[in-house]
A = this chain, B = another copy of it.
Amino acid sequence: MPKQAIRTAVKVDLNTPAWEQPQLHNRWHPDIPFSCKVQPGEVVNVECLDWTGGQIGNNDSADDIKYCDLSRIHYLSGPIEVEGAEPGDVLVVEIQDVQPLPEQPWGYCAIFDKNNGGGFLDSHYPNAAKAIWDFEGIFCSSRHIPGVRFPGLIHPGIMGCMPSQELLDTWNEREKELVGYHASIGTDRVVANLPLEKFTHAGSADSDSAAKVAKEGARTIPPREHGGNCDIKNLSRGSKSYLPVYVKGAGLSIGDLHFSQGDGEISFCGAIEMAGVITIKCEIIKNGVKDMCMKNPMYIPGPVEPHYGPSRYLTFEGLSVDETGKQHYLDVNVAYKQTCLQFIEYFKKFGYSGEQLYILLSCAPVQGHIAAIVDIPNACTTLGVPVDIFEFECLPKEGGFEKIITSDCAFTSGE
C-alpha cells in the first residue's frame, strides 16, 4: 500500500495559550494522562511550542526575558503512549527530522537575569539580554550578533518517559534534601526547583489528578535518569536515544526544541529556542534496562551533523584556578568557566560585547570537553569553536585584531 503522509500525533496551536492545550504539560508525573498513542515502528510528527509556550517575542528588547515566568515552563508535547512498552523495557526513539514551524522561521537565545534563572556566567553578566535568530533552511543568523552564520544542529532539549511514582518520589526526596542542606548553610542561590502548584499544567488530567500533579509533579528544568532536560546538542536528525521505561505505555514527552546549542548551554536559555515539529519512530527493547545495565539514557548521534575538519576548531583551555587566582581542587565547573571567559576575552577584540559572546557561546555548536580530571589540583577543560561560523578571519595572528563589530544584542528597557 502506498505510503501516506506522516501522521501528526501531537498538534499545537500558536494562537491558544499553552496552558489551555490539553496535549501539552509542564510537569513530570505518572498521573498525567496520555495525550495520544503510537505503535512501535510507526513514524509520527510531534509538534512542539517553544519552551516558554510563546512568552518571548521577535523584537529588540530583552524585557520579556527579564520578566519571563519560569514556573510556567517547559511546555512539553505528550505524554505519548507507546503500545506494548512496559517498565524495565528500553524505548528507542529515532529522531528522523526536526524542523521549525514554517510560519515561525525564527528563534531566540538569551541571558537570564541573575535573579530570574541566571546562568553559568551570571556573576560576570547578571543582566538579561537577548538575540533573535532568523532561519534560512539549515542556516541561522542574527541581527543581534552580526558576523556569524552557521547550520543548526537541530534537536529537542527535552525527551523522556514518565517516571513511576516511586522514581518521582526519589527525585523529590533527593532534591528536597539538597535544598534543605543549602538552606541550612545559608546559601543564597536557588539550587533546585521543587514542585510548585502555581502554573502547573497537567495536560488533560481531571481535577483530582491535576491537583496531585501540581503538588508532586517534578519540575522540568533538570535532566534526570529518564532523560528529561538533558540539553544534549547532538540528539539531532538521525540520532537514536535509548530511554528507560518506568510506566506501562512509556509516556514519552518531548519539547524544548533547539535550532542549535553549544555544549553546556551556558546562558541557561542558551540554545536557539523555537517552536517546531519533530518526526520520530519509537521501538521497544524488552527488558533492556537490566540487559544493558542502564541507569541513565544512552544515545547514538545521527549521521548528518554539520562537520568541519578538526583543524577548523580554535580551542581554548581553562583550569580550576578561578578569576581571583584561587586554586580549586579538580573542579571542572571552575575550569569550564575559565575556558568560557577566555573565549569571550579573545573575541571581544573584534568588537563584540561580552553579552553577545556569552549568548553566542551558548548557542553555537561549540565542543566542551573534559580534557584532564586527575592531575591534582587542576582540572583542565577545553572549548573548541568552529572558525567557519564566523564570516571573518579569526585565527590567531601577529599584530592583534581589528574591531569590526559595532552593534549589540537586545537589552532590557531599563538599561
A interface, CB within 8 angstroms of B: 2-6, 43, 57-59, 90, 92, 95-97, 102-106, 118-120, 134, 136-139, 151, 170, 174-175, 177-178, 182, 190-193, 221-225, 229-234, 237-238, 242, 263-268, 270, 279, 281, 285-288, 291-319, 321, 325-333, 336, 338-339, 342, 345-346, 348-349, 367-382, 384, 388, 393, 395-401
Contact assessment for B292 and A349 in the assembled complex, using a CB-CB cutoff below 8 Å? yes
Given the contacts A293-B348, A349-B293, A371-B233, A380 and B304 also touching, CB distance less than 8 Å: no
Please, which residues of chain B bring their CB within 8 A of the CB of A296? 316-319, 338-339, 342
Q: Which residue of B lies closest to A386 (CB)?
A: B309
Contact assessment for A398 and B285 in the assembled complex, using a CB-CB cutoff below 8 Å? yes
Please, which residues of chain B bring their CB within 8 A of the CB of A342? 293-296, 298
| Complexed CA–CA distance, A318 and B294 (Å) | 11
Given the contacts A5-B105, A285-B396, A307-B303, A222 and B174 also touching, CB distance less than 8 Å: no
Interface residue from B182, B305, B328 paired with A310 (Cβ < 8 Å):
B305
Contact assessment for A400 and B292 in the assembled complex, using a CB-CB cutoff below 8 Å? yes
Contact assessment for A288 and B137 in the assembled complex, using a CB-CB cutoff below 8 Å? no
Please, which residues of chain B bring their CB within 8 A of the CB of A398? 285-286, 288, 291
Supply 20 further A-B pairs (C-beta < 8 A) apart from A293-B348, A304-B305: A5-B104, A96-B139, A136-B279, A175-B327, A190-B376, A191-B376, A222-B319, A222-B377, A223-B317, A223-B380, A232-B317, A285-B398, A287-B400, A288-B398, A294-B346, A304-B307, A309-B388, A332-B333, A333-B333, A336-B373
